[in-house]
Amino acid sequence: MIPLLHDFTGTTILVFGGGTVGARKARRFAREADVVVVSPDFADADFGGAERIRAAPDDEAVEDWIDRTEPALVVAATDDTDRNAAIEQAARDHGALVNRTDQHGERDPGSVVVPATVRDDPVVAAVATGGTSPALSRYLRERIEDELTNAGAMAELSGELRDDLQDRGVDPAVRRDAVREVVRSGRVWKHLDSGRTKARQVAEDVTTAVTGDLS
């Protein structure tokens, strides 16, 4: 399985099942999508501000919910395997992506897996185990969390320098070397701890060492 990134901004995501698993997925997706959770009852958990609707849809009602909400992704997180299978089929029939939470192993196209995720925006890292050991995904996610400290700031800083070099017409090969040096520079990383202004100065010194003085 190959991880891809998907932008769900402006879409609706429909979750069936209000247990701890439904809550975790709702939280995950509510950061950028409008999430609707349909379930006869709800765990005492954080649903990330998702809209909660109390209902216990049968297979036909599942189809109605999907028709009505036109979701980009449907999450099947009920505790009923047959119902989850019907939810998967209905999502497919509607051309939506589907996340079966009660299965692991091979998947058909359009059936997606949710990895463990670490963020320091705009940087994101994901861990999955091919469904073999979600507990390990979680543990590895915890272990790499610290690795991403300041990665977001580094992405923004090196992105700005990349744009600057592009604007100044620097040759692509030189530009690439300069940006590579910046993201690998221990000094730039160190200064990101204490603020962006100094880090930017140090990063500019690093790029100038590669490009020569362009002024």
Give the footprint of ligand SHN on this chain (CB under 6 A): 24, 28, 99, 101-104, 113-116, 128-131, 133-135, 137-138, 141
Q: How far apart are CA 183 and CA 195, in angstroms?
A: 16
Residue 13 CB, shortest distance to ligand NAI, in Å, is 14
**Which partner in ligand SHN, ligand NAI, none is near 168 (CB below 5 to 8 A by kind)?**
none
**Which partner in ligand SHN, ligand NAI, none is near 141 (CB below 5 to 8 A by kind)?**
ligand SHN
Sign of torsion over alpha carbons 162, 164, 166, 169: negative
Of 32 and 102, nearer to ligand SHN (C-beta) is 102
Strand order in the sheet with 51-54: 51-54, 34-39, 12-16, 73-76, 97-100
Q: According to CB under 6 A, which residues from 26 to 45 bind ligand NAI?
A: 38-41, 43
Helix residue spans in the chain (DSSP H): 20-30, 59-69, 81-93, 134-144, 151-167, 172-183, 186-192, 196-211
Measured at CB, which residue is nearest to ligand NAI? 19
Question: Three-state SS across 66-91?
Answer: HHHHCCCEEEECCCCHHHHHHHHHHH
Per DSSP, what are the bridge partners of residue 149?
none
**Which partner in ligand NAI, ligand SHN, none is near 17 (CB below 5 to 8 A by kind)?**
ligand NAI
Q: Which two tokens stand for residue 74?
A: 């449907």
Find the helix packing angle between 81-93 and 59-69, rounded to 10°.
Answer: 40
- The pattern of x and - marking residues 61 through 90 that bind ligand NAI according to CB under 6 A reads ----------------xxxx--x-------
**Which partner in ligand SHN, ligand NAI, none is near 103 (CB below 5 to 8 A by kind)?**
ligand SHN
Of 71 and 179, nearer to ligand SHN (C-beta) is 71
For residue 111, what is the DSSP state? Answer: B
Note whether 17 binds ligand NAI by CB under 6 A.
yes
**Which partner in ligand SHN, ligand NAI, none is near 91 (CB below 5 to 8 A by kind)?**
none
Residue 191 CB, shortest distance to ligand NAI, in Å, is 39
Q: Look-up: residue for tokens 């963020």?
A: 119
Q: Which two tokens stand for residue 164?
A: 């600057």
Residue 159 CB, shortest distance to ligand SHN, in Å, is 26
Residues that bind ligand NAI (CB under 6 A): 16-22, 38-41, 43, 56-57, 77-80, 83, 101-102, 134
